[in-house]
């Protein structure tokens, strides 16, 4: 089951986020205060963020963070898949595929779904490519404020 994050998910969400940010899936560490701020924004129903909890038989299996933007290039709404995390025990069992099916059903008007992956995250990349995601020939750049 995939549902919106709830207040009573705080501890398990923070634990999973810490696990995600200490994994090879990310290129750099993040200030743990950001995790609390993200949870607070999700609880306040920020229009820029949607936080989802994935469960199997009532137990947490993972989470996802989405953000939203408009793209002239894509011609409309773009759903940015900011983070997708599955607990170790739930990887390779089809939950990732189920999540992406849910996403497309949940946002039928989206013109594009976009995500990032590190080259080392080969299993995730294979899943994304099987689902139709393409590698872009872009250099990604950021400037933190």
pLDDT value, residue 84: 96
Determine, yes or no, domain membership for 142. Answer: no
pLDDT value, residue 23: 86
Banded model confidence at residue 24, pLDDT cuts 50, 70, 90:
confident
Query: At 43, which CATH number?
Result: 3.40.630.30
pLDDT value, residue 140: 87
Determine, yes or no, domain membership for 109. Answer: yes
Domain that includes residue 41, residue range: 2-131
Determine, yes or no, domain membership for 140. Answer: no
pLDDT value, residue 29: 82
Measured CA to CA, the distance from residue 68 to residue 51 in angstroms comes to 12
Domains held by the chain: number: 1
Determine, yes or no, domain membership for 51. Answer: yes
How many C-beta atoms lie closer than 10 Å to residue 101's C-beta? 13
pLDDT (tens digit, 9 = 90+) per residue, 41-100?
A: 999 999 999 999 999 988 999 999 999 999 999 999 999 999 999 998 898 889 999 999
Determine, yes or no, domain membership for 138. Answer: no
Banded model confidence at residue 28, pLDDT cuts 50, 70, 90:
confident
Q: What are phi and psi of 5, to 5 degrees?
A: -60, 140
Determine, yes or no, domain membership for 144. Answer: no
Give how far Cα 11 sits from Cα of 7, 27, 33, 34, 38, Å.
Answer: 9, 24, 14, 15, 13
Determine, yes or no, domain membership for 97. Answer: yes
Measured CA to CA, the distance from residue 145 to residue 135 in angstroms comes to 28
pLDDT (tens digit, 9 = 90+) per residue, 117-142?
A: 999 999 899 999 999 999 999 888 98
Determine, yes or no, domain membership for 99. Answer: yes
Share of the chain above pLDDT 70, in %: 100
Say yes or no to pLDDT of 25 above 90: no
pLDDT value, residue 92: 87
């Amino acid at each position: 089951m995939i549902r919106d994050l709830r207040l009573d998910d705080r501890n398990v969400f923070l634990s999973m986020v810490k696990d995600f940010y200490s994994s090879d899936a990310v290129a750099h560490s993040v200030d743990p205060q950001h995790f609390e701020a993200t949870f607070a924004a999700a609880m306040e129903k920020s229009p820029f963020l949607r936080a989802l909890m994935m469960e199997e038989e009532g137990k947490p299996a993972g989470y996802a963070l989405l953000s939203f933007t408009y793209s002239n290039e894509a011609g409309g709404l773009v759903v940015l898949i900011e983070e997708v995390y599955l607990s170790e025990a739930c990887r390779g069992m089809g939950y990732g595929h189920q999540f992406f099916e849910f996403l497309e059903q949940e946002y039928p008007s989206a013109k594009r779904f976009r995500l990032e992956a590190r080259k080392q995250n080969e299993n995730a990349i294979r899943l994304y490519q099987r689902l139709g995601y393409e590698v872009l020939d872009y250099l990604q750049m950021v400037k933190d404020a």
